[in-house]
Chains A and B, each alone.
Chain A
Amino acid sequence: MSDHDTTATDTLLKLAQQAVEMARAAGANDAWATAVQDRSLSYAFRDGKPETVSDSTKRGLELKLYVDGRYGVYSTTDLREARLRDFIREAVPLTRQLQADPRRRITPPELFPTAPAEGLQLVDPRVAGLTREQRLAWCRELEAGVRGEPTLISTICSIEDGRKLVADASSNGFSGAYGKTSVGFFQQVSLRDAGPGEREVGSERRAEGEDGAACLHLDDLPSTARIGEQTLARARARLGSRQGPTMKGTLVVEPRAAMRLVSDLLAPAKAGNVSQGQSFWPKLMETQAFSGKLTIIDDPRRPRGLESHPYDREGIAARRLTLIERGVPKAVYADTYYAAKTGLPVTTGDPSNQIVQPGERALAEIIRAVGDGVLVTAWAGGNADPTTGEFSQGLNGHIIRGGEIAEPVVGMIVTGNLKTLFASLVEVGNDPFPYFALRTPTLVFENVQFSGA
């Protein structure tokens, strides 16, 4: 952290402490304040020239008030001292008008971190030193990766980087702060599709591809050349897409698309959902509910992890949490309030880096072994019901035929129940996409229902 960031962090921490004091003075029994400052810059290039430069500076304060057994959350970006004091003076009596809830209590100190977080590597000092010239050079390199493509309609590429500082203080002794940097490349390309499509659109057809990467450290970014190649390759792969058939068969989901399915599976793994009966997880806990090939952990202490943090938004010390172990659901996300309501142990209310344990083989080997099926490269929209697990998702991808990736398909839907889908997981690849907080490799499911033509 630079001297500038150290000074800014001290200022934020003082602001949080000052807000807690104001709340106590206004009559709150307890208070928890979180102050945040976030600066980011982005440059976007379209078709070889700058399209947008954007500079964002956020700063704000969130205050949780505990007043006579009542609880309210107040946040503001208006940090002028007089306005802030008025805001808090108004918030305390407002909180008092709510109904009392004995389960709502400030985080007990025994859940606080007991030692400074070491080794998280959340800050890369070099990000702060990035120049306008460097950002623009990267944009040009990305754009050069698709230049010359004869079917190109348009391409946009962008660079975004930022620094965020967080400081927390509470009336029962919590005091903490941390910073985090981020940097990312993103690119999208649109191509004219004159392939052998059979659709009645009455317009020139288009194929799109995109790629990107987000990291905390500059060293972890892939090369601009690789992003450009991937973007173009993904768009070209969509050329000539046509609607696939209605069928039952094997579903292979490449890593960046598998994220959606895992995210839907984990969405009801929250004590808040359990409390409201909106989760299929409780009946499955400690049973062999899913395939033995599925292990998922949440690791907020992963070095350089996109969602790593030393403590969560309640001040609970970050620790590794096993959600599913060899197909057996072991734990759910539970903050102090919903843990008290459900009787579940307190873990954390904040998902961080969710990691599906990888298997042995890469996508190409898996495709050869599968023989016939459907490869999903992106989802086209859909939904999953956290109460029942019923889901239905549109897909973009390819037919797999004879162990090879064959024609591209659109207009297909996968439908089923997440419980039975993850029970039918037959293989996990060794190829997680490293640029999402949710890291999952290729997933393979059997006997899946596809809707199409």
Chain B
Amino acid sequence: MNRRHFLATGTAGLASLTLPTFLRAQPQATDLTAPAPANPFLDWFSIDEAAIRRVMTELTANGADFAELYFQHKRTNLIRMQDGLASQATSDIAQGVGLRVVVGDQTGFAFTEDLTPESMLQAARTAATIASGGRATLPAHFDPRRQGDLYPIKRPWSEVGLDEKLPLIQKVESRLRAADPAIDKVTVQLTDTDERVLIATLDGRLLTDRRPSALLGLMVTAKRGDQTQSNMVSLGARDGIGFFTDARLKAQVDEVVARTLVLFDARRPPAGEMPVVLAAGASSVLLHEAIGHGMEADFNRNGTSIYSDMIGKPVAAPFVTVVDQGNLPHELGTLNMDDEGNATGRAVLVDKGILKSYLHDNISARHYGLREHVGSGRRESYRYPIMARMTTTFMENGPHSRDEIVASIQHGIIAETFTGGQVAIGPGDFTFYVKNGWLVENGKITAPIKDVNLIGNGPEVLKRITMVADDFKLDPGGWVCGKNGQSVPVSIGMPSALVSRMTVGGENV
């Protein structure tokens, strides 16, 4: 809990998922052992090993179980086309170093955007005040390491000019305008980032990563008579401009137009409890909120998560398996290494209905006595301390079909597209907001619905998942996960599934 979070939400202990890829290859194992040929990032940040050693010495002057220097340079460009004009652009460079020292469960943290030795040493002295012991032992060398290559791109975004970006957004904008006479207003926005990360750890690793990402947002307002409706979609990946193929762009255009126009005929379902079909793909907002946050180990080592005492216990039907995987190629939630320099990978949260494993950062892994763990330590930037976070969270395929699920419902809804979700990690109570969906009556889809909130409790809803289909889909959208005032990109996915009973925020007329 902090001031920023308190002022933003008026409450604490909350985590949220909001809108601002497809599985294209089998996951690759990350490799943290092969030596890198050189380290050009040292030059980029105008530092050398001697400077790192001096700062690390100061940072660990009062003792340390572990510590790191996290250098980051991130350039973010945005170009927006609105009302037929590509006339709005921003470009941001954020560069700095975050210094962290950990002793037991205690963390000293400081950051500075002034990378002079004096400024870094001053920040290190403040962070070091958390500890009161003797000086830590520094490694003989900081050895460069190379990690996986999960987001190779032909050209970094820094080499892609407006001459290439403008035609892309203009093409999307003109297609949206031509899609239907009801389309009244169109905004298309392309955001790209090129991020360099250099991590020096107390155990002597010097790790680098270059992280690209791109996000295309399509926002549409339509008018029919005196009614106005608006909607949006986004498409994101850790990839270059080549990701935005014609087929992908067309799919997004069709999707946002259909999602918007159907709102004119949509209504609210009745209020109360009913069966809810989670459509394949973005419905994984529910998994993210209902189980993902509760399985992040920081809330469990403090005993405050509802899942703190449930490892090894059955929490769902045997056909329910939930995974968080940080090494899916090109996903927005993917990282070659986490922000503590650990290899990312596959963490099984629920294995055939049994609660299996938390998501760990170094502090929690040590707390639980783990000899190794899947790297889930993440931070928004050098300005924030590291926490255990999700990457790409999904449910695996089950034994049923979507048609079977729909046919089984007398009166319920299908939840299809979402604006986001939120969870109180302690009690496990969560909500997620359905923008588009369908009413199901007597086993048939009968009418579109819109703008309903669904509410439930994580462990309760997991137990009520009674059918899981075989139509797994990762959502292509750009999702942003917020926790304790920090936002990080994540990915989500799942097959269609049935929750036998959930409370739907409808209206009874």
User: When the two chains form their complex, are residues B91 and A74 in contact, meaning their CB atoms are under 8 A apart?
Assistant: yes
Given A59-B113, A380-B429, CB of A394 within 8 Å of CB of B460: no
User: Is residue B362 contacting chain A, with contact meaning CB distance below 8 A?
Assistant: no
User: When the two chains form their complex, are residues A55 and B110 in contact, meaning their CB atoms are under 8 A apart?
Assistant: yes
User: Is residue B82 contacting chain A, with contact meaning CB distance below 8 A?
Assistant: yes
Task: Give B269-320 interface residues, CB cut-off 8 Å to A.
Answer: 271-273, 302-304, 306-310, 313, 315
User: Is residue B371 contacting chain A, with contact meaning CB distance below 8 A?
Assistant: no
User: Is residue B185 contacting chain A, with contact meaning CB distance below 8 A?
Assistant: yes
User: When the two chains form their complex, are residues B431 and A380 in contact, meaning their CB atoms are under 8 A apart?
Assistant: yes
Q: Which residues of B contact A97 (CB under 8 A)?
A: 161-163, 166
Interface-forming stretch among B199-207, B342-350, B446-454? Answer: B446-454
Given A51-B106, A382-B433, A453-B503, CB of A393 within 8 Å of CB of B127: no
User: When the two chains form their complex, are residues B1 and A186 in contact, meaning their CB atoms are under 8 A apart?
Assistant: yes
User: When the two chains form their complex, are residues B506 and A451 in contact, meaning their CB atoms are under 8 A apart?
Assistant: yes
User: Is residue A76 contacting chain B, with contact meaning CB distance below 8 A?
Assistant: yes
Task: Give A410-453 interface residues, CB cut-off 8 Å to B.
Answer: 410-416, 436-437, 449-453
User: When the two chains form their complex, are residues A201 and B306 in contact, meaning their CB atoms are under 8 A apart?
Assistant: yes
Q: Which residues of A contact B119 (CB under 8 A)?
A: 57
- Most B CB contacts (10 A, CB to CB) among A243, A306, A382 go to A382
B-contact bits for A78-116, CB 8 A (1 contact / 0 none): 110000000100010011011111001000000000000
Closest-by-CB residue of A relative to B82 is: A276
User: Is residue A294 contacting chain B, with contact meaning CB distance below 8 A?
Assistant: no
Which of A160, A278, A392, A453 is within 8 Å of B221, CB to CB? A278
User: Is residue B504 contacting chain A, with contact meaning CB distance below 8 A?
Assistant: yes
The answer for the CA separation of A74 and B77 in the assembled complex, in Å, is 9
The answer for the CA separation of A241 and B457 in the assembled complex, in Å, is 12
B-contact bits for A374-397, CB 8 A (1 contact / 0 none): 000011111101111011111010
The answer for the CA separation of A68 and B428 in the assembled complex, in Å, is 55
User: When the two chains form their complex, are residues A381 and B430 in contact, meaning their CB atoms are under 8 A apart?
Assistant: yes
User: Is residue B196 contacting chain A, with contact meaning CB distance below 8 A?
Assistant: no
Task: Give B231-264 interface residues, CB cut-off 8 Å to A.
Answer: none
User: When the two chains form their complex, are residues B10 and A50 in contact, meaning their CB atoms are under 8 A apart?
Assistant: no
User: Is residue A153 contacting chain B, with contact meaning CB distance below 8 A?
Assistant: yes
User: Is residue A117 contacting chain B, with contact meaning CB distance below 8 A?
Assistant: no
The answer for the CA separation of A79 and B96 in the assembled complex, in Å, is 11
Q: Which residues of B contact A187 (CB under 8 A)?
A: 1
Task: Give B130-151 interface residues, CB cut-off 8 Å to A.
Answer: 130
Query: Closest approach, in angstroms, between the C-beta of B499 and any C-beta of chain A?
Result: 13
Task: Give B84-117 interface residues, CB cut-off 8 Å to A.
Answer: 85-96, 105-114
User: Is residue A203 contacting chain B, with contact meaning CB distance below 8 A?
Assistant: yes
Query: Closest approach, in angstroms, between the C-beta of B483 and any C-beta of chain A?
Result: 14
Q: Which residues of A contact B303 (CB under 8 A)?
A: 153-154, 190
Given A99-B86, A451-B272, CB of A411 within 8 Å of CB of B507: no
Closest-by-CB residue of B relative to A202 is: B459
User: Is residue B326 contacting chain A, with contact meaning CB distance below 8 A?
Assistant: no
User: When the two chains form their complex, are residues B3 and A160 in contact, meaning their CB atoms are under 8 A apart?
Assistant: yes
The answer for the CA separation of A393 and B383 in the assembled complex, in Å, is 32
B-contact bits for A152-188, CB 8 A (1 contact / 0 none): 0110101010000000000000000000001010111
Query: Closest approach, in angstroms, between the C-beta of A307 and any C-beta of chain B?
Result: 10
The answer for the CA separation of A87 and B158 in the assembled complex, in Å, is 13
Q: Give the bracket for the number of chain B residues in contact with chain A.
A: 35 or more
User: Is residue A287 contacting chain B, with contact meaning CB distance below 8 A?
Assistant: no
The answer for the CA separation of A104 and B161 in the assembled complex, in Å, is 23
Interface-forming stretch among B48-56, B416-424, B465-473, B486-494? Answer: B416-424
Interface-forming stretch among A254-262, A343-351, A365-373? Answer: A254-262
Closest-by-CB residue of B relative to A41 is: B126
User: When the two chains form their complex, are residues B310 and A383 in contact, meaning their CB atoms are under 8 A apart?
Assistant: no
Q: Which residues of A contact B414 (CB under 8 A)?
A: none
User: Is residue A124 contacting chain B, with contact meaning CB distance below 8 A?
Assistant: no
Which of A104, A379, A411 is within 8 Å of B87, CB to CB? A104
User: When the two chains form their complex, are residues B507 and A415 in contact, meaning their CB atoms are under 8 A apart?
Assistant: yes
The answer for the CA separation of A77 and B2 in the assembled complex, in Å, is 24
The answer for the CA separation of A277 and B123 in the assembled complex, in Å, is 48
User: When the two chains form their complex, are residues B123 and A451 in contact, meaning their CB atoms are under 8 A apart?
Assistant: no
Interface-forming stretch among A9-17, A205-213, A295-303? Answer: A205-213
User: Is residue B223 contacting chain A, with contact meaning CB distance below 8 A?
Assistant: yes
The answer for the CA separation of A394 and B271 in the assembled complex, in Å, is 13
User: When the two chains form their complex, are residues B504 and A437 in contact, meaning their CB atoms are under 8 A apart?
Assistant: no
Given A206-B426, A394-B431, CB of A78 within 8 Å of CB of B272: no
User: Is residue B401 contacting chain A, with contact meaning CB distance below 8 A?
Assistant: no
User: When the two chains form their complex, are residues A57 and B7 in contact, meaning their CB atoms are under 8 A apart?
Assistant: no
User: Is residue A246 contacting chain B, with contact meaning CB distance below 8 A?
Assistant: yes
Q: Which residues of A contact B14 (CB under 8 A)?
A: 381
User: Is residue B13 contacting chain A, with contact meaning CB distance below 8 A?
Assistant: yes
User: Is residue B12 contacting chain A, with contact meaning CB distance below 8 A?
Assistant: yes
Q: Which residues of A contact B507 (CB under 8 A)?
A: 415-416, 449
User: When the two chains form their complex, are residues A452 and B272 in contact, meaning their CB atoms are under 8 A apart?
Assistant: yes
User: Is residue A75 contacting chain B, with contact meaning CB distance below 8 A?
Assistant: yes
Query: Closest approach, in angstroms, between the C-beta of A221 and any C-beta of chain B?
Result: 12
Q: Which residues of A contact B357 (CB under 8 A)?
A: none
User: When the two chains form their complex, are residues A277 and B162 in contact, meaning their CB atoms are under 8 A apart?
Assistant: no
User: When the two chains form their complex, are residues B96 and A77 in contact, meaning their CB atoms are under 8 A apart?
Assistant: yes
User: When the two chains form their complex, are residues B13 and A394 in contact, meaning their CB atoms are under 8 A apart?
Assistant: no
User: Is residue B20 contacting chain A, with contact meaning CB distance below 8 A?
Assistant: no
User: When the two chains form their complex, are residues A393 and B453 in contact, meaning their CB atoms are under 8 A apart?
Assistant: yes
Query: Closest approach, in angstroms, between the C-beta of A253 and any C-beta of chain B?
Result: 12
Q: Which residues of B contact A57 (CB under 8 A)?
A: 110-114, 119, 123
Query: Closest approach, in angstroms, between the C-beta of A281 and any C-beta of chain B?
Result: 12
Which of B107, B162, B424, B460 is within 8 Å of A380, CB to CB? B424
The answer for the CA separation of A58 and B98 in the assembled complex, in Å, is 12
User: When the two chains form their complex, are residues B162 and A451 in contact, meaning their CB atoms are under 8 A apart?
Assistant: no
User: Is residue B191 contacting chain A, with contact meaning CB distance below 8 A?
Assistant: no
User: When the two chains form their complex, are residues B221 and A77 in contact, meaning their CB atoms are under 8 A apart?
Assistant: no
Query: Closest approach, in angstroms, between the C-beta of B438 and any C-beta of chain A?
Result: 17
User: When the two chains form their complex, are residues A277 and B221 in contact, meaning their CB atoms are under 8 A apart?
Assistant: yes
The answer for the CA separation of A158 and B152 in the assembled complex, in Å, is 42
Given A73-B90, A381-B453, CB of A160 within 8 Å of CB of B383: no
Given A208-B424, A452-B272, CB of A55 within 8 Å of CB of B109: yes
User: Is residue B408 contacting chain A, with contact meaning CB distance below 8 A?
Assistant: no
Q: Which residues of B contact A182 (CB under 8 A)?
A: 3
Can you list 28 contacts pairing A with B, beta carbon distance less than 8 Å? Answer: A46-B105, A51-B106, A52-B109, A56-B111, A57-B114, A57-B123, A73-B89, A75-B93, A79-B114, A158-B1, A182-B3, A184-B3, A186-B6, A188-B12, A201-B457, A276-B185, A277-B228, A383-B419, A383-B420, A383-B433, A390-B451, A392-B451, A396-B429, A415-B453, A436-B10, A437-B7, A449-B271, A451-B271
Nearest first, the 5 A-B pairs at minimum CB distance are A381-B422, A413-B505, A381-B431, A392-B453, A101-B87
Interface residues of B (CB under 8 A from A): 1-3, 6-7, 10-14, 16, 73, 79, 82-83, 85-96, 105-114, 119, 123, 126-127, 129-130, 161-163, 166, 184-185, 187, 219, 221, 223, 228-230, 268, 271-273, 302-304, 306-310, 313, 315, 383, 385, 419-424, 426-433, 435, 450-453, 455-460, 463, 503-508
Known: A51-B107, A98-B87. 19 other contacts (CB 8 A): A41-B126, A51-B105, A53-B130, A59-B113, A78-B93, A201-B306, A205-B306, A208-B427, A257-B10, A277-B223, A278-B185, A380-B431, A383-B435, A391-B451, A411-B503, A415-B453, A416-B507, A437-B7, A451-B505
